[in-house]
Chain A
Amino acid sequence: MIDDLPPVQGDLPVSGNWDAAARIARLLEVVQRFASLDFSDVAQVGVTGDDLDALAAGVNMLGEELEGWSADFQERVEQRTAQLTAASERLEVEVAERVRTEEQLAESNTVLSDTVGHLRRLNHQIVQLTEMSNLLQAAGDRDEACEVVARFAPDVLSGADGAIYVSASPRTTVELVRSWGSHQGYSPSIDDDGCVALRQGGIHHGRDDAHDRCSHHPGEALGETLCIPLTAQGEVLGLLNLQWERDPSPSTAASLDLSDQLAEGQGQRLALAAAEQLALTLANLALRCELRTQAIRDALTGLYNRRFLDETLARELHRAERDDLPVSVLMLDIDRFKDFNDAYGHVAGDTVLAEVGQVLLDNIRSGDIACRYGGEEFAVIMTGADEVEATARAGQIRSSMALHAFPGEGQPAGHLTVSIGIATRPQHGTDPDGLLRAADAALYRAKDAGRNRVATATD
């Protein structure tokens, strides 16, 4: 056993009589220290250079190498640890950068999704606006046009409630024509003092503050309002009135209300576009109505003209034939009108013609059609009136004319008479020309008989 060996005096010089067992024990002790990575001691190499000295030298060199390798290993471990730490730190930076990039991407994606949603919604609104515009162009009258707008407005204007007012004639107020949405209680009419937009001639956006809102909005309605005058060619034709309650929850593309779109400038453009379309339609309808009136009315008397008479008489005769109804035609001529004209001038003559037209209108039935036939001749179509009824009505007209005091400017007021000829379907004709010729012939007989009288085609 090594422990049984005598203690080795390591510091003592090794001599030739050094005990072999002690030297081996000493070597073992050094080897055991090396095994525990303790390199503080070395084996003594003797002066003899014998095998044990060689063994001691080998052990020492192994110890040196082991110590060197251990140091190298430790250094490499430290280097690798430093490299790993640096790599780990770089990785942490990269991971943090990637996380930040992913967050930015997610944020960008959200913004992009919202933008796409907004664009889709806006596209839908524009499509609806275009369809509304197409239908407005086909609208036959004002009510139909307003109905089209009321139908499309909830889609085009993001669910806002609203009402359409159209100018009365003459334009002192605008009157309620159509409304939509849950709010009720719109003012039936609004004058300029009741609406900032009408007064100032421009769009007015009222916020939640009641002082900022026009008084014509329903009192119970909260939220924001928008008043847009309907103007075309500088003329106010009406008012588009919108109101909505702002949703306090965060907006999404699906829940975007008019306030959000107003904030982005889109809502106001959409509302303005809808208002412009409606105003243009109203202007076109008014123009069409005026042209139609000009086409069928006599400008001097306001009665229907000859052209309208021809169209209407043919239609009424066709209807009468289908329904087996009588139709009477009255031809009326002012007696001695040429003398009146010669005496008082054409201006007075025109005044008399307008008065005759008014007297005629005052004495016919509501369904009868009075026309200026030409010059001082007039005609009345009486659908459903037989000869007896027509004769009675003609007599009433004749007497009213005879009693009517025609005003004269610069000349004494006077009285005029008329002669009337009557023809009735079917006995006196079934087509317009025949019936008119028969009535005209009766009129001439009334003239020949002394004027201021009524004659029928039967007479």
Chain B
Amino acid sequence: MDPDEVVGPRFRVYRSPAGYVRCDHPDRAELTGRDAREALQAIASLAEGPSTPVLVDLRVTHSVCREARKAFATSPVPSRIAMYVESSLSRVIANFFIGVSGPSVPTRMFSDLDAAQRWLLDDR
């Protein structure tokens, strides 16, 4: 396995050459709290410091439970979070995370991958 990649039951986390960590989910994934904690642990293992910019691909995600949203909202591992969306469902999930879960780090929703990458790396 690529040392820059961690794959779990419902996530794949890997280091992007651009300098952030990306988290993808399988199609129609229903993320639980355990999934979120394992994904964050994987992100931390790939980070080059105590924290790292994270891009979360929500385009095919079916649902994210409250415990999972809370885990991401309170984790110190991401220095900022860009949520990559496409469908109405993924937008609702992203908006809900930003508006209701109240993440502790800068978080934005993008439908354009390049824009998301630029925003993530602006902070470096």
A: residues with CB less than 8 A from B are 45, 47, 49-51, 53-55, 57-58, 60-62, 64-65, 67-68
When the two chains form the complex, which single residue of B66, B87, B93 contacts A65, counting CB atoms closer than 8 Å? Answer: B66
Contact A65 B100 (CB under 8 A): yes
Q: Given A57-B93, A61-B100, A50 and B88 touching (CB < 8 A)?
A: yes
Q: Given A47-B28, A61-B100, A65-B100, A54 and B92 touching (CB < 8 A)?
A: yes
**Known A49-B90, A54-B92, A61-B100; 15 more pairs at CB < 8 Å:** A49-B87, A49-B88, A49-B89, A50-B89, A53-B89, A54-B88, A54-B91, A57-B89, A58-B92, A60-B63, A61-B69, A61-B92, A61-B96, A62-B100, A65-B100
Nearest CB of B to A331, in Å? 140
Nearest CB of A to B83, in Å? 14
When the two chains form the complex, which single residue of B62, B64, B92, B93 contacts A55, counting CB atoms closer than 8 Å? Answer: B92
What's the Cα separation between A49 and B69 when bound, in Å?
A: 20
Nearest CB of B to A159, in Å? 87
Contact B66 A53 (CB under 8 A): no
B65 interface residue, CB < 8 Å from A? yes
Q: How many residues of B contact A (CB 8 A)?
A: 16
CB-nearest residue of chain B to A58: B92
Q: Given A61-B93, A61-B96, A54 and B63 touching (CB < 8 A)?
A: no
Sample (6) of A-B pairs whose CB atoms are under 8 Å apart: A49-B88, A50-B87, A54-B88, A57-B62, A57-B63, A61-B64
Contact B88 A53 (CB under 8 A): yes
Closest 9 CB pairs of A and B: A54-B88, A64-B66, A49-B87, A54-B92, A49-B89, A54-B89, A58-B92, A51-B88, A61-B96
Q: Residues of A contacting B100 with CB < 8 Å?
A: 61-62, 65
Contact B63 A68 (CB under 8 A): no
Name the residue in A51, A58, A61 with the highest tally of chain B Cβ atoms < 10 Å from its Cβ.
Answer: A61
What's the Cα separation between A238 and B91 when bound, in Å?
A: 121
Nearest CB of A to B90, in Å? 7
Contact A68 B66 (CB under 8 A): yes
Q: Given A61-B93, A61-B96, A65-B100, A45 and B88 touching (CB < 8 A)?
A: no
Nearest CB of A to B88, in Å? 4
Q: Residues of A contacting B65 with CB < 8 Å?
A: 64
Q: Residues of B contacting A57 with CB < 8 Å?
A: 62-63, 89, 92-93
Q: Residues of A contacting B87 with CB < 8 Å?
A: 49-50, 54
Nearest CB of A to B110, in Å? 17
CB-nearest residue of chain A to B62: A45
What's the Cα separation between A49 and B87 when bound, in Å?
A: 7
Q: Residues of B contacting A45 with CB < 8 Å?
A: 62-63, 89
Q: Which of B47-74 contact A (CB under 8 A)?
A: 62-66, 69
Nearest CB of B to A411, in Å? 145
What's the Cα separation between A47 and B30 when bound, in Å?
A: 12
Nearest CB of A to B61, in Å? 10
Contact A58 B96 (CB under 8 A): yes
